[in-house]
Amino acid sequence: MENLLNELKQAEIGKVLENEPLAKYTTIKIGGPADILVQPKDIKAIEKTFEIIKKQGSSWRAIGRGSNLLVSDNGIEGVVIKLGDGLDQLEVEGETVRVGGGFSIVKLSTMLSKQGLSGLEFASGIPGSIGGAVYMNAGAHGSDMSKILVKSHVLFEDGTMEWLTADEMEYSYRTSVLQKKRPGICLEAVLKLKAGKREDITAEMLKNKDYRRETQPWNFPCAGSIFRNPLPEYAGQLVEKAGLKGHQIGGAQISEMHGNFIVNAGNATAKDVLDLIEFVKKTILEKYGVTMETEVEIIGRNH
């Protein structure tokens, strides 16, 4: 690990930190340390990072803005690549948008709405990066990334890079090919939007934003939706029907506002959250015979 750390530091790829607590980088404010955290300054720096990781035979993991993520209390082995500054380039040509994986999806949806471009209204209020949204097919209000993605520039775990079309991303509900079948990270994306009336787009976005503010607990650290909706049922409604809103284990609590959110009510650990998830799964299965699956990604050592 010492050799890997020294080589990464000497490569001038951006910030390189040792034993960095990941609670600082997740929206739920939970997570043990990364052995090494790299914040690359651009795509070339990411390529160089991967050259070194491969040469040293280290494991790696990429994160964006840390939403939809629960990191183990024991942290993450190897190198964590934090995509953000340096991967936030943006080009808009007519209705085509080329954007870096580290760009905030909320910021992008706001900027494009002001230019009269429609298609990203659903993202108003979704905390996270474009890279993360492409990776997990983020969506809300009846739409998602699969509806607007043209292609995605992907870095695979063997260090190769390739543009994948929307079809090649094999999108389904909150899932893409990058999660299990072909593990990789989205460095940039090309999106196709539609010209629309600025007032209509802005009104739609405000409506979506207000809905989130009124129904979801963004005033507490949280990771977003915890469970996938077991359609035709909705996860939040099942949790509420089971009388579990407000139920707490350690510092983790099922939100009083929305049954599909677990909030960090104060010094929660990943173990608290995982115990609460298991409790919900068991209760819902016993009461309604429905198997709940997590939407939040759970990563790290011995989670």
What are the tens digits of pLDDT across the range 5-43? 999 999 999 999 999 999 999 999 999 999 999 999 999
CB 90 within 8 A of CB 80: no
pLDDT higher than 80, residue 139: yes
Strand-pair category, 90-93 with 96-100: antiparallel
Specify the residue for token string 């934003």. Answer: 209
Q: CA-CA distance, 84 to 92, in Å (whole number)? A: 19
* Contacts of residue 203, Cβ cutoff 8 Å, sequence gap at least 6: none
d(CA 132, CA 113): 21
In a 3-state reduction of DSSP, which class is residue 264?
strand
Q: Quick one: pLDDT at residue 219? A: 83
Half-sphere exposure of 136 (CA within 13 A, CB side): 23
The per-residue pLDDT for range 235-289, each reduced to its tens digit, is 999 999 999 999 999 999 999 999 999 999 999 999 999 999 999 999 999 999 9
Q: Which residues pair with 79 in a beta bridge?
A: 36, 60
Other C-beta atoms lying within 10 Å of the C-beta of residue 12: 10
174 labelled catalytic? yes
Tracing tokens 């809300």 back to the chain, one arrives at 140
Give residue 2's region: left, alpha or beta (phi > 0; psi -120 to 50). Answer: alpha
What is the CATH class of 220-299? alpha beta
HSE at residue 115, side-chain half, CA atoms within 13 A, is 18
Six-digit token string for 186: 């989205």
Q: Which one of the listed residues 20, 121, 188, 295 is annotated catalytic?
A: 295
Alpha-carbon gap, residue 271 to 276, rounded angstroms: 8
**Could you read off the pLDDT of 201-226 as tens digits, one per residue?**
989 888 888 777 777 887 899 998 99
Measured CA to CA, the distance from residue 35 to residue 26 in angstroms comes to 16
Residues of the chain with pLDDT > 90, as a percent, come to 76
Spatial distance between the Cα atoms of 159 and 140, rounded to a whole number of angstroms: 32
Active-site annotation holder among 67, 72, 118, 225 = 225
Give the whole-angstrom CA distance, residue 120 versus residue 112: 8
Residue holding tokens 């390529």?
47
Q: Which of the residues 67, 174, 176, 188 is marked catalytic?
A: 174
Quote the pLDDT of residue 140: 83
Bridge-based pairing state of the strands 184-192 and 161-165: unpaired
Q: Where are the domains of the chain?
A: 2-82, 90-200, 220-299
One DSSP character per residue, 165-188 reads ETTTTT-BTTB-TTTTTS-EEEEE
| pLDDT band for position 178 (cuts 50, 70, 90) | very high
> Is 225 a residue of the active site?
yes
Separation CA 97–CA 119 (nearest Å): 11
pLDDT at position 196 is: 92
CATH, range 90-200 = 3.30.465.10
Give yes or no: 72 in active site: no
CATH of 2-82, one of 3.90.650.10, 3.30.43.10, 3.40.50.720, 3.30.70.2860: 3.30.43.10
Name the DSSP letter for residue 128.
S
